[in-house]
Structure 1
């Protein structure tokens, strides 16, 4: 990290909810507090307030009655600009040297406005494939249409949404992304310098020591939102394949809530639904799983995969999206393309307890290396490159920045 740590103003649309973005932001703020770094978080809250805690400061902005629900705990306030003056005043008084936004939501848009008015650098991190979420949800909402026009409509919506996202991220001076595919996409489509921003896990919270089970049932676990974009209906196909293969000694454990719960309750035969869990109850649920099954094809990273691994649980993921990069096939989990592949991987571990034990240990060891401190150390290094105009080092370029040094440096501020 640079000798002079910049005064950072983080504008985030997610903070108090259970999403991966919210967990990242809370851990970021905690990192700054422990390191005594000047750090301001601007976020939505139940009331408008300003508070200080050590080296950190938080401005909470109350969303209005016209706010539109986007997801569990996440809203968009079309009248958020009423807070623009207050946000700019607080950021100026704090002495912010850069603004970091996490998404193109109502608070993120306030962050862009503040950075532009103050003429300070803007950093934007990509956390969610909103365009793919939109396509999946639209496909569900238009299920009454014939398959072909429904697919065309969803594809058109995905392209339009991605174009809008690219326009938003092009306004930033520097971008952060969680996987190689997104680093490559943003580099090509925005012309901005793009650096990797991984995720971490709290191994003091997620650990095998919370395992309380002593039965022989093989528990297939999932944790997260129960939403169309998570591709959870695939689990129904996986169960049918398991039953067709004669497997009965298993149980699904689904932690979370959302619009897909009713469908899953109707169609999964051996399944337990806990709703959202937090704290030790969540840690116990993770540690009680035997295999973490994550059928999502839209996630950019998958914080929950690291939480499962830290709990000593190998992961089974799809071949699409960021989570596949977290799994070492045959060592810390499996990567499969469809329900048949999921079934095969599950049966492999069900009938090979020695391999299962080795994979549990390897998964935990891998997760223990993924600390939040390392993640945010790298973020501050990226901030330093923005401030000094230094180009990406070879390690970043190997992660997909394309090696286009002229293109990247053209937008760095010296």
Structure 2
């Protein structure tokens, strides 16, 4: 008889991440919100982040800081926390050192694939994608589970040789992000308002949106290394800079269409924020949008021609957008994360038994 999964649940979990404050992005928000939910479930969460080490700005992307730490430092921090399990959230320096310590000490661990690491690196440095995906396979395949946000991404990474893939969806705060009264001319701009929110960086494919010939006005919310160049190149676009909390939620709710031009995101937390605000979404039919917005949904429009998607989204239903967002909860997403952590530990136990006794997986359920 198989052991109930909850009996294997860790009481102490250490999360190691290279992405942390003061960065503002989907990775940081997802980890931070998951931490809060885990604590309500009775899990004692400790963190290893760049806050604990000296760091230097990443070349071409100074908002991201790379930690200057020795493997022994990271290992001692993890050991001091006496975790039942370790989750490695990123493939950066801290993730590498945590992976090394776990393998050396026989510590079970899981990983997550938050961003298209190979594509992001290749966009900035002349490194072949094949090399970068080889690194991703090497990094993730030794863990008990590699968590991905969508089914389409799981299929894609499976085809690239990444194993032990588990789904970990995302949630949305539908109290903060909600429909609100629209002003006649938000930011002093004519409607309809086409808005995008996120890092202003090369991988977000913003010119694909900003070059479009659309009625009304375009708004970009966020900051990043490409902002100065894009703001000079598109003087008729309104750039708000970084917004947080209530100010961000109020701004979302003023949009008529949310435009998501990225082709490299693995999910799209901003899509959920827009939908929860009652704003239909226009996007390419790629990983993330196709997983969130079902075919035939009246919550937005997906098209390989982004202009067609934007115009079609004007006719979509704000009520349908809101109802779709309400199907995503952080509680459910965190329970999914927790189940993956538990299963990863069990998978490592089975691997150890196979290595010791040569038994088949079907023999190891009891």
Check whether TM > 0.5. Answer: yes
Q: Using the TM superposition, give the Cα deviation of residue 267 of structure 1 relative to its aligned residue in structure 2, in angstroms.
A: 3.9
Confirm or deny that 1:199 pairs with 2:163: no
2:141 is aligned to 170
Q: Using the TM superposition, give the Cα deviation of residue 4 of structure 1 relative to its aligned residue in structure 2, in angstroms.
A: 5.2
1:331 is aligned to 298
Q: Using the TM superposition, give the Cα deviation of residue 189 of structure 1 relative to its aligned residue in structure 2, in angstroms.
A: 4.2
2:354 is aligned to none
The alpha-carbon distance between structure 1 residues 346 and 188, as it changes in their structure 2 partners (threshold 3 A), is closer
Check whether the contact 1:169–1:190 (CA below 8 A) recurs between aligned residues: no
The alpha-carbon distance between structure 1 residues 313 and 8, as it changes in their structure 2 partners (threshold 3 A), is same
Q: TM-score, normalised by structure 2?
A: 0.85
The alpha-carbon distance between structure 1 residues 265 and 189, as it changes in their structure 2 partners (threshold 3 A), is closer
Check whether the contact 2:280–2:318 (CA below 8 A) recurs between aligned residues: yes
1:11 is aligned to 16
For 2:177 and 2:148, the matched residues in 1 are separated by: 25
Check whether the contact 1:100–1:111 (CA below 8 A) recurs between aligned residues: no
Compare 267-276 and 117-126 and name the one that shifted more: 267-276
Confirm or deny that 1:80 pairs with 2:51: no
For 1:286 and 1:72, the matched residues in 2 are separated by: 27
For 2:210 and 2:162, the matched residues in 1 are separated by: 42
Task: For residues 308-363 of structure 1, give each alpha carbon's deviation from its aligned partner in whole angstroms, at most 9, with x where no partner exists.
Answer: 1111111111123322221235511111113xxx323333454xxxx44xx21111
1:54 is aligned to none
Confirm or deny that 1:345 pairs with 2:309: yes
For structure 1, which runs of at least 5 residues remain unmatched after alignment? 46-60, 139-153, 391-407
2:201 is aligned to 227
For 1:95 and 1:294, the matched residues in 2 are separated by: 42
What RMSD in Å do the two structures reach over aligned CA positions? 2.7
Q: 2:85 aligns with which of 89, 98, 101?
A: 98
Count how many residue pairs are aligned between Structure 1 and Structure 2: 344
Task: For residues 232-280 of structure 1, give each alpha carbon's deviation from its aligned partner in whole angstroms, at most 9, with x where no partner exists.
Answer: 11123312xx3xxxx4xx1111001123323432443542111111111
Check whether the contact 2:62–2:225 (CA below 8 A) recurs between aligned residues: no
Q: 1:2 aligns with which of 1, 6, 18?
A: 6
Confirm or deny that 1:285 pairs with 2:256: no
The alpha-carbon distance between structure 1 residues 303 and 191, as it changes in their structure 2 partners (threshold 3 A), is closer
1:304 is aligned to 270
Check whether the contact 2:63–2:224 (CA below 8 A) recurs between aligned residues: no
Question: How do 1:246-325 residues align onto structure 2 when only pairs under 5 Å count?
Answer: 247=215, 250-268=216-234, 270-325=236-291
For 2:29 and 2:278, the matched residues in 1 are separated by: 20
The alpha-carbon distance between structure 1 residues 170 and 271, as it changes in their structure 2 partners (threshold 3 A), is same
Question: How do 1:110-121 residues align onto structure 2 when only pairs under 5 Å count?
Answer: 110-121=97-108
For 1:259 and 1:191, the matched residues in 2 are separated by: 31
Check whether the contact 2:219–2:238 (CA below 8 A) recurs between aligned residues: yes
Q: Using the TM superposition, give the Cα deviation of residue 382 of structure 1 relative to its aligned residue in structure 2, in angstroms.
A: 1.6
For 2:288 and 2:19, the matched residues in 1 are separated by: 20
Confirm or deny that 1:213 pairs with 2:183: yes
Check whether the contact 1:388–1:413 (CA below 8 A) recurs between aligned residues: no
Secondary structure, aligned partner of 1:201: coil
Check whether the contact 1:70–1:76 (CA below 8 A) recurs between aligned residues: no
Check whether the contact 1:10–1:42 (CA below 8 A) recurs between aligned residues: yes
Task: For residues 177-230 of structure 1, give each alpha carbon's deviation from its aligned partner in whole angstroms, at most 9, with x where no partner exists.
Answer: 112233124434446321111111111221113x45234611101000111111
Check whether the contact 1:2–1:380 (CA below 8 A) recurs between aligned residues: no
Q: Using the TM superposition, give the Cα deviation of residue 169 of structure 1 relative to its aligned residue in structure 2, in angstroms.
A: 1.2
The alpha-carbon distance between structure 1 residues 70 and 369, as it changes in their structure 2 partners (threshold 3 A), is farther
For 2:117 and 2:13, the matched residues in 1 are separated by: 25
